[in-house]
Amino acid sequence: MAREPAPGILITHEDCRRHLTPAHHPERPARLAAIEAVLGRTPLGEALGRRAPEAADEDVLARVHTRGHIARVRETAASGGGSLDPDTWVSPASYDAARRAVGGALLAVDAVLAHEAPVAMALVRPPGHHARPGAGMGFCLFNNVAIAARHAVEAHRLERVMILDWDVHHGNGTQEIFYREGRVVFCSLHQEHWYPGTGALEETGAGPGEGTTVNVPLPAGVGDGGYAYLWEEIVLPLIAAVAPGLVLISAGFDAHHRDPLGGMLLTARGFGRLARLVRDAVPRTPVAAVLEGGYDLEGLASSVAATLEGLTGIASGVVEPDAGLREAPFAVAQERARAVRRVVGAFWSL
């Protein structure tokens, strides 16, 4: 008798906690510990399957990164650690941790495409979406989601993959990697005029990838209502037009209102609603999420739980106190949706 697929799969590994950063650095092992503590108190902890990934080898990393960059990370770790830039640190265990994080993203893709579960989330670190082909930056060493997307189109032969990046910071590395490729559609909603300074509305791809980059830069102060409106006006119609064989979520949670590195006003419930809207829009399409940012431990953990609830339908029971937030005026989201539709409408029927 065939085994019923799990409602969802969580993927993580202890190696991901061994990537160390200096004291008071926001990207720290406590992020994963906080998530696990909250999930362990919810029905999600027992209902979801668990998998541990293998570490990706250098040939896999080289699908999107230069050999020189891979060697620099490896050698920096082997020499006792150091920094790639003022924000991005490598500790002695970071090379192995980063390869394990990539392995987690790959396993999430393999699991959902093998129908082991309709959704999977890789709770891994270091994060990845800022990592460029030849350089790490923004806390990121290797680009987990980009390698997973390349794996999906090359190993699984998918005709089209969509990456949805809702981190508060623009995923410049992911955009750069796929800017001239037609099989991967990259859609990012992020805070404008914020780190790393990329992600303008007019950045839409080039050559065979023209139209496959969709940027939705947002002013600070957009919250649950504005994001939900943009989902209905831009994200969901784009998913329908792209008709991907896989949706990959670069799941950063630093757009949460408590986060110290962003200026957005999303709540955990808001993240859950966005996840549910995606799941409802593509009920038969595999969805794999990979952890990116999110640096307030309480906001991060509750938002991950709410996102998993939205993706799987399993109630988390997590209740977030009312923060009395005052979102940016609704007209802000309306104006930005109109601007995006003017640009993106040249490539996709929204």
Contact 198, 172 (CB under 8 A): yes
What is the rounded (10 degree) CA torsion for 5, 289, 314, 26?
140
Catalytic one among 65, 130, 169, 256? 130
Reduced to 3 DSSP states, what percent helix, strand and coil does the chain have, rounded to the nearest 5?
40, 15, 45
13 labelled catalytic: no
Contact 308, 274 (CB under 8 A): no
Would strands 184-191 and 88-90 be described as parallel, antiparallel, or unpaired? Answer: unpaired
Angstrom distances, CA of residue 165 to CA of 175, 285, 341: 10, 17, 18
Tokens found for residue 116: 């082991």
Q: How far apart are CA 59 and CA 64, in angstroms?
A: 10
Catalytic residue annotation: 130
